[in-house]
Amino acid sequence: MGPYMPAAVPSDMPQDIPELDPRRRRLLFRARHRGTKEADLMIGGFVSRNLSAFSEAELAQIEAVLDLPDVDLSDWLSGRREPPPGVRTPMLERMALECGESGAGMPPELRRP
């Protein structure tokens, strides 16, 4: 075994956000590592685009959304099913609206006009 090498900064961390506090860093990791590529792109993309603008209250709201089951969350965000009233929140609706757009989760340079 070679000498100790410090862990590199993950390549999927946004480069335009110079320094993330630990809470935002954990939230971004959770959003980008959901278990399916589709969920990673939809949820991780939403969080990446909005992370720096989230208030403390919005961080709590997005954390609550990330606690929901992946299968249900993917269905609700893709529009396959409506979220039940008990879990429908302004943050979930905001995510569903943005994730329901054509090309959601795709990098802007790969989206079709």
pLDDT tens column, 37-81: 888 888 999 999 899 999 999 999 999 999 999 889 989 998 899
The larger pLDDT score, comparing residue 9 to residue 60, is at: 60
Q: Virtual CA dihedral for 105, 108, 110, 113, nearest 10 degrees? A: 110
pLDDT at 107: 60
pLDDT at 7: 43
Q: Does domain 22-105 sit in CATH 1.10.150.250?
A: yes
Whole-prediction pTM value?
A: 0.74
The larger pLDDT score, comparing residue 112 to residue 55, is at: 55
The larger pLDDT score, comparing residue 13 to residue 85, is at: 85
Share of the chain above pLDDT 70, in %: 73
Task: Count the neighbouring beta carbons within 10 Å of the beta carbon of residue 112.
Answer: 6
